[in-house]
Amino acid sequence: MTATDFIVARDDLQACKTVATELPAGEALPQDALLVKIDRFAFTANNITYAVLGDELKYWQLFPAPDGFGNIPVWGFGEVIASKHPNVAVGERLFGYFPMATHLVIEATDVSRRGLRDGAAHRQSVAPVYNAYARVGGDPAYAGRHGDYQALLRPLFMLSFLVDDFLAENDDFGARTVLLSSASSKTALGLAHLLHTRGRKVIGLTSAGNTGFVASLGCHDEIVTYDRATTLPSAAPAAYVDMAGNSALRAELHHHFGDHMKCSLRVGLTHRATDADEGELPGAKPRGFFAPDQIRKRAKEWGPGGIEQRFAAAWSGFAPLVQTCLTVVESRGPDAVRRVYLDMLKGRIPPEQGHMLSLLG
Ligand SMILES: NC(=O)c1ccc[n+]([C@@H]2O[C@H](COP(=O)([O-])OP(=O)(O)OC[C@H]3O[C@@H](n4cnc5c(N)ncnc54)[C@H](OP(=O)(O)O)[C@@H]3O)[C@@H](O)[C@H]2O)c1
């Protein structure tokens, strides 16, 4: 049986191609294995960041590719088309982390009513969330267009939720204003919504062409283009959550706010401009935000189901809001996937579009 994989050169993300890979089918599947057809998956700037950090954060290890190439992980849906696991039937629908491919073999383990894990040895070096699959067959929240919004937003909103929680538990480090870069990104929109709900002043920094979209969510007190960042009033304590990963912008904001910069979190890399040596910056020292740390901490403090319950409540406030300003765009087949991938890499995708892709023709 042959599958199609979309792979990119690790040292030159513009070089990409599809390759055919051989898969065991039917009786040839190992015990407990599932053969999954990957129906559709979301693709956002976050997936490009997975590729940029593929070596550093071990994303390339999840779905092996030929030497020098990597298969970018994506959040999406698959259907079990062959099963050697006694408790997983053909026809099951799964939501989770997949390769950009038409098929995946999963070594099913920890199978429960709600989900299962891939126990493949090469997938165990990453956080458990990246190996977990939800069984979503009977769940209307994951069906049709609802499902697309889940794939496009839910994993990103988990990060928004955790950053908001981290800031809130630290009383926002004394800041009452929070600045967000790449304010038009889905992750930043989720965070803006949560901060706005908590009564914080939210300032979105974005490109000139994206200000209208950012305004459409109605969660920002101010929206400022990057070239006007230093016109912001700087006399009150502020916190900065950086989705852009633009070191020149970060330095500019730190110098502008000086000691009033009370917290500076590095979350994203959409601009991929981290080369400049920023040296010692005024204000709080910039630090990376590592989501699994906050998850571990809260899992201990809130007990079983505590994170899930609070997250579900937050999600139910955000999902209907963002669906009104985000349009799902579907693309099928290798050529279409390649086009969307390269447009995303170059920053040519308008923020109001949410892309759902499939390598199936
Ligand atoms: N640390 C974590 O665990 C974690 C979790 C979730 C997300 N994130 C990060 O948060 C960031 C946002 O992800 P997302 O999926 O929410 O993004 P998204 O919705 O696809 O964001 C699109 C926006 O990103 C900016 N952008 C994208 N590509 C660009 C390019 N080539 N050049 C310049 N700007 C570009 C533009 O915003 P502007 O014009 O507004 O700058 C664009 O409107 C990613 O870096 C992602 O990895 C991190």
Per DSSP, helices labelled H in 199-242 are 211-216
| Atom 37 of ligand 1, nearest CA residue | 182
pLDDT score of 26: 73
Q: How close is the Cα of 188 to the center of ligand 1, in Å?
A: 8
For the chain, give the percent of residues with pLDDT over 70. 99
Using the atom order of ligand 1, give the atom closest to the CA of residue 214.
Answer: 40
Distances (CA, A) of 25 to 77, 102, 122, 339, 360: 19, 14, 21, 30, 17
- 2-142+326-358, what's its fold? Quinone Oxidoreductase; Chain A, domain 1 (3.90.180)
Distances (CA, A) of 62 to 54, 119, 194, 290: 10, 11, 32, 19
pLDDT score of 323: 87
Torsion of CA 188, 315, 343, 56, to 10 degrees: 70
Query: Residue 42 pLDDT more than 70?
Result: yes
Dig out the tokens for 278 from the structure: 């920023």
Mean per-residue pLDDT over the chain, rounded: 95
Which are the contacts of 58, defined by CB distance < 8 A and separation ≥ 6? Answer: 125, 126
pLDDT score of 279: 81
Per DSSP, helices labelled H in the chain are 45-52, 144-169, 186-197, 211-216, 247-257, 291-302, 306-323, 334-345
pLDDT band at 126 (very low <50, low <70, confident <90, very high): confident
pLDDT digits (tens, 9 = 90+) for 129-182: 899 999 999 899 999 999 999 999 999 999 999 999 999 999 999 999 999 999
In short, whether 346's Cβ falls inside 6 Å of ligand 1 is: yes
Rg (CA), the chain: 21
Distances (CA, A) of 351 to 124, 169, 213, 234, 347: 34, 30, 7, 28, 10
pLDDT score of 107: 97
Backbone angles phi, psi at 233, to 5 degrees: -60, 135
CATH pick for 156-291 out of 3.50.50.60, 3.40.640.10, 3.40.50.720, 3.30.70.2740: 3.40.50.720
Dig out the tokens for 233 from the structure: 């009033």
pLDDT score of 275: 63
Query: Residue 125 pLDDT more than 90?
Result: no
Q: How close is the Cα of 321 to the center of ligand 1, in Å?
A: 19
pLDDT score of 276: 67
Which are the contacts of 293, defined by CB distance < 8 A and separation ≥ 6? Answer: none
Indicate yes or no: pTM above 0.85: yes
Q: How far apart are CA 35 and CA 50, in angstroms?
A: 25
pLDDT digits (tens, 9 = 90+) for 57-75: 999 999 999 999 999 999 9
In short, whether 271's Cβ falls inside 6 Å of ligand 1 is: yes
User: What residues does each domain of the chain span?
Assistant: 2-142+326-358, 156-291
pLDDT digits (tens, 9 = 90+) for 268-324: 999 987 666 778 999 999 999 999 899 999 999 999 999 999 999 999 999 988 888
